[in-house]
Amino acid sequence: MKQKFNIIESTCVPLPLENVDTDQIIPARFLKATTRDESFFGENLFRDWRYDSKGNPIPTFVLNDPAYGGDILVAGRNFGSGSSREHAAWAIAGYGFKVVISSFFADIHKNNELNNFVLPVTVSEDFLAELFSTIAADPKARVRVDVPNQTVTNLSTGRSERFEINGYKKYCLMNALDDIDYLLQQKDKIEDYEKKTI
């Protein structure tokens, strides 16, 4: 959903696993929808880790643990690998996450998050390890993500890091603009390119 980003301060949901692939984020059988109903995808986020085969919540999975909640998902390295399905980003957005923090994101999924106004924040392995410890010690620990200044801060320890995002995408996020809005203004350049290459 298009929304304007500025400063986000929230508790976090920790998922300290590596290589979480998009088949886990949203299994293929939920990809048959023909609309972009984020609430449907959000309800099925991490479906097979979250519910057993009868549809009962699995109490040990973090999304079913009432101690944890918030706008920020914190995940182990190589988050979002595998399938290009944008449904994974819709599920994350639909569940209500605005930010995903990890030490490493898979390429396609990272773009999909950005295109759906979910901000992927890449931090160092040390920062991530400390953040997991902080959240384990205190589920109500808060993190501050400052988009204008491109910083992420573990408010319990005061540790802060700068994260990367290009100027164009930052402008889009802060002003709720998407790439198609931009591309539709470029028709002349595209037609010039086509004439040149024929």
Partner 1 sequence: MNTLFDKIWDSHVVNNIEDGPQQLYIDRLYCHEVTSPQAFEGLRQRGIKCFRPEKIFCMPDHNTPTRNQDRPIEEPVSKKQVDTLAANAAEFGLSYYGMMDPRNGIIHVVGPERGLSLPGMTIVCGDSHTSTHGAVGAVAFGIGTSEVEMVMASQCILQQKPKSMRISIEGKLGKCVTAKDVALFLMSRITTSGATGYFVEYAGSVVRDMSMEGRLTLCNLSIEMGARGGFIAPDEKTFEYLKGREFAPKGEDWDKAVAYWKTLKSGDDAVFDRELVFDAAQIGPMVTYGTNPGMGMEISGTIPQEADIAPEGRKSFLKSLDYMGFQPGESLLGKKIDYVFLGACTNGRIEDFRAFASVVKGRRKADGVTAWLVPGSWEVRRQISEEGLDKELEAAGFEIRQPGCSACLAMNEDKIPAGKYSVSTSNRNFEGRQGPGSRTILASPLVAAAAAVTGRITDPRNI
Tokens of 57: 């919540």
Q: Does 126 bind partner 1 (CB under 8 A)?
A: no
CA distance 89 to 99: 11
Binding partner 1 (rule: CB under 8 A), the pick from 44, 102, 112, 154 is 112
Shortest gap between Cβ of 83 and partner 1 (angstroms)? 5
- Helix (H) or strand (E) holding 121, with range, is strand 119-122
Q: Is residue 158 classed exposed, middle or buried when 0-12, 13-18 and 19+ CB atoms within 10 A define those classes? A: exposed
Measured from the Cβ of residue 55, the count of other Cβ atoms closer than 10 Å reads 7
Least distance in angstroms from the C-beta of 26 to partner 1: 11
Q: Which strand (E) or helix (H) includes residue 20?
A: none
Indicate the pairing of strand 142-146 with strand 119-122.
Answer: unpaired
Which listed range, 19-27, 57-65, 135-143, 149-157, lies at the site for partner 1 (CB under 8 A)? 19-27
Per CB under 8 A, contacts with partner 1 among 157-176 are: 166-169
Q: Which residues bind partner 1 (CB under 8 A)?
A: 16-19, 21, 23-24, 27-29, 31-36, 48, 53, 76-78, 81-86, 89, 104, 106-108, 111-112, 115-116, 125, 129, 166-169, 178-180, 182-184, 186-187, 189-190, 193-194, 197
